Structure 1
């Protein structure tokens, strides 16, 4: 990408974050129709939703809810780096609540994304309203610097958020 196009992308990033989330949701709807609907991990009471996609420090981030997973997702094309990792690789990103490790993938025609799985499968959700509320709460926790205090204990691994405790209010656990 030329420097001029990169600057235009960065200026429009905030305005386009929600629209990009909806494009990602459309890609997952297509995946649902083609391959996922009849698999045993599919929770048919849920639908696909892009939750609160926004620009944050030059990167689009939001929560993707599907009938088979709930992930924090970020667009790999950003305003902060010149190179992109390849699909299947891991990438550590810092948020106000701490640092988490994403997995890079390339679903359909939306480009490279990085995902951090919170739930998969999604059978503990009995309706979409509870899945949406959980996604909103999870993203709010990730974006809250107040949750960083959980990272400052003497035995805590610096800057690392543990997936199992992410939505339970305890963002880290002791690790040997």
Structure 2
């Protein structure tokens, strides 16, 4: 008996696509006429992948951008929120029910979405946010990003004029 090897990344993308469809239905039914709805945007599942035995990705809608995952990502989900450890650090998620999807965990990134002129801008932001979430806090790249771009200015040296470039 031969069979196709299951593709966990395809499963993650399929879960994200099902969730996006649920949000499209919610948008059409209940959100479109609300003042927080950005007509320039659509609903899209961004970067869904396997992570620590679960699925994670970013959901972009005309009214929010959230990091989302199935609520089963946490071992115990008795409260209204949970903390999940990501490479970048611990993130607090809120639990909710989404139609056919059941319980999901979500962490708000943006709401409302009026700072985004189009889907390209929202997509780029979602991809960058997911990349940051997956960047280990102690990685060389994360440490480099935290370092100030320039050396802090010492007030005394500034007033004395000793910060100017000296040319010989």
TM-score, normalisation: structure 2 = 0.76
Q: In the alignment, what sits opposite 1:52? A: 47
Equivalent residues of 2:63, 2:113 under 8 A apart: yes
Runs of 4+ with >6 A deviation: 147-152
Which region of structure 1 is more displaced relative to structure 2, 41-50 or 143-152?
A: 143-152
Q: Following superposition of structure 1 onto structure 2, how do residues 110-149 of structure 1 map, counting pairs within 5 Å?
A: 110-146=101-137
Deviation at 1:14, TM superposition (A): 4.0
Cα distance change of structure 1 residues 91 and 146 upon mapping to structure 2, 3 Å threshold: closer
Deviation at 1:59, TM superposition (A): 1.0
TM-score, normalisation: structure 1 = 0.72
Structure 2 regions of 5+ residues with no counterpart? 1-5, 147-168
Q: In the alignment, what sits opposite 2:149? A: none
CA distance in 1, matches of 2:107, 2:31: 20
Secondary structure at the counterpart of residue 71 of structure 1: strand
Q: In the alignment, what sits opposite 1:101? A: 92
Q: Following superposition of structure 1 onto structure 2, how do residues 6-155 of structure 1 map, counting pairs within 5 Å?
A: 13-78=8-73, 81=75, 83-85=76-78, 89-146=80-137
Tell me how many residue pairs correspond in the alignment: 140
Residue deviations 1:99-131 (CA, integer Å, cap 9, x gap):
010000011110110000000000000111000
**CA RMSD after TM alignment:** 2.3
CA distance in 2, matches of 1:148, 1:93: 19
Equivalent residues of 1:46, 1:128 under 8 A apart: yes
Residue deviations 1:19-64 (CA, integer Å, cap 9, x gap):
0000000000000110000000000000000001111011100000
Greater C-alpha radius of gyration: 2
